[in-house]
Amino acid sequence: MDLGLKGKKVIMNGGSHGLGLASLKTYAAEGCDVAFFSSNADRVAAAEKVIDTAGTGKVFGTQLDMTGNPEGYASWLEKAVKDLGGCDIFVHTASASGQGATGDWDRCLDLDIKGASIAIDVLTPALAASDCGSIIFMSSTAAVEKFVAPQAFNAIKAAMITYGSQLSQALAPQGIRVNCVSPGPIEYPSGNWETIKASMEDFYNGVLAQMPMGRLGEPQEVANSVVFLSSPASPYTTGANLVIDGGFTKRVQF
């Protein structure tokens, strides 16, 4: 399927590994130019090479720590628009979970929600100028069903779904679509579930036993949906929360 992404400009906060990197590789393979950052300079350099190999578009990777740095983050977003020559798609993947801080209310609020809000303020003009403006918020199945324990990550990711839904109504007149993607347990090298498997084997095995497909997910399985949902091939979808969890969550969706 031609997703209509050739030449489109994609900005992602995060993106040096896991779901973000898999998505950026897929955007690159579709012919997009991409900009991303990570707090780890070595990861940025490694990710740039992988993304550059995947496609022929431009790749702008930057070392940046957005933690407690809203001004620097906003400045990076403005620079990314200039470097790319616009913004057609924004993907918000930055999260306190990547820092192992799922119980830290301040960091979850700053990275997961304020990180989204700041980006919307900065990028809305560029997205409105696009002929296919699209925003993806990365949430989690922890937002829609009890998981592990009451904690900041779960509640803030639920708030993100509400924010995204209401934002989709507000931005639709400007031609900007807003959708959420909520992955279930996804396993990849250096990811949270690899750490859990090594340090909490019984818990890992307990979650694995609840997976109807008998395995945890892979980053590419989420990335494919992120890229499609944000693309011109899905032009009438907005305000949705796409759950990608292999049947892990048990609630009935309406």
Q: For residue 145, what pLDDT is reported?
A: 83
| Cα–Cα distance for residue pair 175/190, rounded to 1 Å | 38
Taking Cα atoms as reference points, which of 94, 90, 96, 84 lies closest to residue 64? 94
Q: Does domain 9-187+218-243 have CATH number 3.40.50.720?
A: yes
Integer angstrom CA distances of residue 4 from 31, 48, 88, 202, 235: 9, 23, 12, 45, 11
Beta strands in 152-240 (DSSP E): 177-183
Ramachandran assignment for 148, one of left (phi > 0), alpha (psi -120 to 50 degrees), beta (any other) = left
| Cα–Cα distance for residue pair 20/40, rounded to 1 Å | 14
Taking Cα atoms as reference points, which of 75, 61, 153 lies closest to residue 111? 153
Q: Is 249 helix (H, G, I), strand (E, B) or coil?
A: coil
- What is the chain's pLDDT, residue by residue, as a tens digit (254 residues)? 689 999 999 999 988 889 999 999 999 999 999 999 999 999 999 999 999 999 999 999 999 999 999 999 999 999 999 999 999 999 999 998 777 777 789 999 999 999 999 999 999 999 999 999 999 999 999 888 877 778 888 999 999 999 999 999 999 999 999 999 999 988 887 767 777 777 778 878 888 888 898 899 899 999 999 999 999 999 999 999 999 999 998 877 66
pTM for the model stands at 0.93
